[in-house]
Amino acid sequence: MAETITLGKALNHGLRRALENDSKVVIMGEDVGKLGGVFRITDGLQKDFGEDRVIDSPLAEAGIVGTAVGLAIRGYRPVCEIQFDGFVFPAYNQIVAQVAKMYYRSMGKVRIPIVIRIPYGGGIGAVEHHSESPEAYFAHTAGLKVVTCANPADAYVMIQQAIASDDPVVFFEPKRRYWEKGEVDLDIDLAGAYPLHASRVAREGTDATLIAYGPMVRVALDAATAAAEDGRNLEVIDLRTLSPLDLDPVYASIRKTGRAVVVHEAPGNVGLGAEIAARITEECFYSLEAPVLRVTGYDTPYPAARVEEEYLPDLDRVLDAVDRSFGW
């Protein structure tokens, strides 16, 4: 049964299905129960599954994740909600020192099937600490899987796949896209769904490759549509998985187009774009017609809401990078 729903509602449906399918799945976080979460992603779940499975926690991110570690060791599959991206840092030690390392430390004897959901990115006019892009911190940490959805169909499937994974998954949700709608197959069989840790061609093209993830996939697609009016056929790759990176579709695309532009909201310095550009250069050097270019947020703290549109990569900045690529 296919429905046209928002990305936020798709996540809600995905969480509901995970709760229905496995009694060991529990959701925990600040205001996830009676309120249904700040963005209402968990709306109605506590009412239907009870306070023992959808748990309103204290205002303590380190406590939320630390408790989830204990639950995971005892066989549960906890799903932690971090209310906003900038609030994850009190739990950073738990995530990188415990969640990421427990399997390695126990020589494979202890699994930590935890999902840490983090709404991230800007574009909603929020105040300080509410519009961060901290994905590189976690992608850099061995032992963590890091993924991000860009549309409702992926959101519905990927959240269920993440919960079913025996590895800890940091699940980044593009908060500016929560209200965007798309068609979702609510009856999809996860066994036959697109893999969790796999990139995907979001739009085919021949002249240059745009590589994006999460909130920037929509920007890249819009840029490709605009470029088509000028006779340029751009291919768009939605990475979907940030650790491990699945770059085979990227390499295949660049061997076809010869040009690459990487787009993300996070600052450029030591960001995902730098790693992607390095790997493309290593693997596709003789196919490149121009250097790999990056369009990113600036290397500053996230600005006040009134000027955030000056900070975020937009269609014009992406198209300018494409023009520069063809100028080499």
- Provide the annotated active-site residues: 130
Question: Which residues, including other chains, have CB under 8 Å from residue 4's CB and lie 6 or more apart?
Answer: 181, 182, 183, 184
Contact call for residues 199 and 247 (beta carbons, < 8 A): yes
Element (H, E) at 65: helix 61-73
CA distance 224 to 229: 9
Instruction: Report the residue count for the chain.
Output: 328
CA distance 110 to 102: 7
Q: Quick count: other Cβ atoms within 10 Å of Cβ 327?
A: 7
Using the structure block, give the residue that is written with the tokens 């796949």. 161
Q: Quick count: other Cβ atoms within 10 Å of Cβ 160?
A: 25
Interstrand relation of 260-267 and 181-185 (parallel, antiparallel or unpaired): unpaired
CA distance 322 to 209: 9
Main-chain dihedrals φ then ψ at residue 150, nearest 5 degrees: -130, -10
Beta partners for residue 242, in sequence order: 245
CA distance 22 to 8: 22
